[in-house]
Structure 1
Amino acid sequence: MSSGDDFDLSDSSSSDDSDLDELLQDDDLEATMLLLAVKDLEDRAKLLNRRRGSVFGRNHIQRNRLLGHEQLMEDYFAEVPTYPAHLFRRRYRMRRSLFVRIIKDCELHSNYFKQRRNAAGVMGFSAFQKISAAMRVIAYGIHADYTDEYLRIGEDTTTQSVRRFARMIIKLYGPTYLRAPNEDDTKQLMEINEKRGWPGMLGSIDCMHWTWKNCPKAWHGQYCGKSKDATIVLEAVASQDLWIWHYFFGLPGTLNDINVLQRSPLFAKLANGEAPTCNYKVMNNEYTMGYYLADGIYPDWATFVKSVKDPQDRIEAEFAKAQEAARKDIERAFGVLQARFAIVRGPARFWDKKTLVNIMTCCVILHNMIIEDERDLSLPCFYDNVGTRVEPQRNPDRIEAFLEAHRQIENSTTHAQLVYDLKMHHWQRHGRRL
């Protein structure tokens, strides 16, 4: 066979390889395009799942926000409102003047509560609508969509209003209405309690549990205590006028009062030497630390006075009667707090713990604000002035001083002597008359 009739194997093999490469490149390109299309669909799905504004596929409801605002103003905030002052206080848990003050402060310090137009040029909700919706949820413990028909606010906006309202109350009023007693406050508390027969008493202490309905299942073992429901613990100290002077919230319900006390900052200032001075005398014995009335679970410390579980004589019986009657201050404070804000009485429906902490803190602050606003003007109003800050005296041996302060706080001998002196004190006041 001649050379012209021979096949060029090298040329044919190279052409076949080039065709195969083209096919492979076409397949890779098609696969790449398919992957890009899938990635684009995933990105679109993520955007649709975000809860920001109107979402594709949802029905948009024309709620007529302006009508809700006008109806609200006519019913409660007009010069001659439809509902009188006593109904306003019943539904908002406070007087109209205090509520308007809170609204103005929130508008001044937060853009969220200012009435503005959205991107479509539509006027948004007013501060009266948002805060009224938040107060209805807090006061009545209702679902977020319960106020939609009257205030024309959807569920998401109401939930967001509750969260932002709680944070704003803490930011604006927390330093004033969650403060520890200063020098003037301590002096007034001791004077009032001495007239009641309890010299040196600063208040009553106890714990309250708030049921957490939507507690994550993974946390149930941590938050379910003696009850089957998950709870969060509130430790508080209250005085006779129901003002809450100490607030500590957020520990799981499996902890009892002693476990909460061990984590509480109640005696932090006292141990650091920053607490106001508290000197008093009972039965010719001098004491330098105030005390709190507590129930039987609390330890025998010099800063706690408990009742007598099984009185053996008339002196102990009289003391137990007086102690249990005076310790009702904290029980009444918890009762009023739960009656005023039903959200902390019923099961909490929020999922995140941070929101629950903010709501409870907000309720305590509003509770103290209402007490201050509604206090009889003929009584001494010593809560208005925050007072000067007590500057701590820095001790070079502060660690030893800190430990010594804790030893004094937990001194059972001082506790026994104080209880004995108070027994004799109450026997001299009341027992001899029997």
Structure 2
Amino acid sequence: MEGHNRLYNDYFADASVYPDYIFRRRFKMKRDLYCKIVKEVEDHDPWFQQRRNAAGELGLSSLQKVTAAFRMLAYDAPADSLDECLRLGESTIIESMRWFVHTIVEVFDDEYLRALNEEDTARLLDMNQRRGFPGMLGSIDCMHRRWKNCSLNDINVLHRSHLLDNLAAGVAPKVHYSINGHHYTVGYYLADGIYPEWATFVKPIQAPVDRKRQHFVVQQAAARKDVERVFGVL
């Protein structure tokens, strides 16, 4: 209970020790969203619910268990680095992570982990057109890398990506847009220079020589940062 009370008073009490901007920096999201995730996970799986033991003493809270998983994800932290602040043992923290990732998929799969439907595609196309990229389905990053020993090792996993299975089979969302007088019917993804020369990847121009190309490189990189920031957090 000491660990729960300290965590609650630090971040979740009405007059918490740390303000909202500190919460967002450390948890990588707003407090309201975090509390929603905790509630959804707790309601879905009894493992996250706080229970009493045979002696009638309260066990670990859902906040402690979920926060342990989030801290490992947000900071790439080992389990034994969190036991002092959360009052959880190393084995319990690892177990919390395992339960958490499975529960997240079960709770949010239908809404966030499904394939795009027509409504999703239309929303993405409209949003990206307003950003200056008609026909853009999204950005792509880190599919060719993995973390190991604090360094990046390149591995090509593009051919294993479910995202590109349909494109490889010639199946793609229906997209109609025109650029510089040319009409296109297949959407594309923004990518950095390390990706292969595929028609579905729009990469930055190498060594842009005039203001027009320099402007494109800046805008392409700015739009691509959406997904790069996400993987940077993970």
Gap regions ≥5 residues in structure 1: 1-65, 214-227, 232-252, 342-434
Residue 131 of structure 2 is aligned to residue 181 of structure 1: no
Contact 2:71/2:77, CA 8 A, preserved across alignment = yes
Distance 2:162 2:5 in 1: 47
Cα drift, residue 297 of structure 1: 4.8
Gap regions ≥5 residues in structure 2: none
Residue 100 of structure 2 is aligned to residue 206 of structure 1: no
1:349-388 matched pairs, under 5 angstroms: none
CA RMSD of aligned residues (A): 3.0
- 1:132-162 Cα offsets, whole Å, 9 max, x none, are 2222222233332233333221111111112
Match of 1:279 among 154, 158, 176: 176
1:295-306 matched pairs, under 5 angstroms: 295-306=192-203
TM-score, length-normalised on structure 2?
0.80
Distance 1:306 1:196 in 2: 16
**In the alignment, residue 8 of structure 2 is paired with which amino acid?**
M
Contact 2:129/2:135, CA 8 A, preserved across alignment = yes
Cα drift, residue 110 of structure 1: 1.0
TM-score, length-normalised on structure 1?
0.47
Match of 2:219 among 311, 322, 325: 325
Distance 2:226 2:173 in 1: 26
CA 78–140 in structure 1, closer or farther in 2 if over 3 Å, else same:
same
Residue 14 of structure 2 is aligned to residue 117 of structure 1: no
Distance 1:101 1:112 in 2: 17
CA 334–197 in structure 1, closer or farther in 2 if over 3 Å, else same:
closer
CA 67–193 in structure 1, closer or farther in 2 if over 3 Å, else same:
closer
Distance 2:204 2:76 in 1: 35
**In the alignment, residue 212 of structure 1 is paired with which amino acid?**
K
What is the DSSP-based 3-state SS (H/G/I as helix, E as strand, rest coil) of the residue aligned with 1:292? strand
**In the alignment, residue 198 of structure 1 is paired with which amino acid?**
F
1:164-313 matched pairs, under 5 angstroms: 164-207=99-142, 209-213=145-149, 231=153, 253=154, 255-256=155-156, 260-270=157-167, 275-309=172-206
- 1:248-302 Cα offsets, whole Å, 9 max, x none, are xxxxx4x34xxx2223223323456764311122344322111223344544443
CA 130–204 in structure 1, closer or farther in 2 if over 3 Å, else same:
closer
CA 107–298 in structure 1, closer or farther in 2 if over 3 Å, else same:
closer
CA 111–280 in structure 1, closer or farther in 2 if over 3 Å, else same:
same
**In the alignment, residue 204 of structure 1 is paired with which amino acid?**
S
- 1:189-216 Cα offsets, whole Å, 9 max, x none, are 3334334443322233333633234xxx
What is the DSSP-based 3-state SS (H/G/I as helix, E as strand, rest coil) of the residue aligned with 1:302? coil
What is the DSSP-based 3-state SS (H/G/I as helix, E as strand, rest coil) of the residue aligned with 1:112? helix
- Equivalent pairs, count: 233
CA 72–183 in structure 1, closer or farther in 2 if over 3 Å, else same:
same
Percent identity (aligned): 45
Match of 2:9 among 54, 57, 74: 74
Which residue in the other structure is 2:87 paired with? 152
Which residue in the other structure is 2:64 paired with? 129
Where relative contact order (Cα < 8 A, 6+ residues apart) is larger, the structure is: 1
CA 293–125 in structure 1, closer or farther in 2 if over 3 Å, else same:
closer
Structure with bigger gyration radius: 1
**In the alignment, residue 72 of structure 1 is paired with which amino acid?**
L
**In the alignment, residue 322 of structure 1 is paired with which amino acid?**
F
Contact 1:75/1:83, CA 8 A, preserved across alignment = yes
Cα drift, residue 321 of structure 1: 4.3
Residue 20 of structure 2 is aligned to residue 85 of structure 1: yes
Contact 2:79/2:93, CA 8 A, preserved across alignment = yes
Contact 1:204/1:327, CA 8 A, preserved across alignment = no
What is the DSSP-based 3-state SS (H/G/I as helix, E as strand, rest coil) of the residue aligned with 1:207? coil
CA 157–303 in structure 1, closer or farther in 2 if over 3 Å, else same:
same
**In the alignment, residue 334 of structure 1 is paired with which amino acid?**
E
Cα drift, residue 322 of structure 1: 0.4
Distance 2:137 2:152 in 1: 32
Cα drift, residue 229 of structure 1: 5.8
Distance 2:37 2:71 in 1: 15
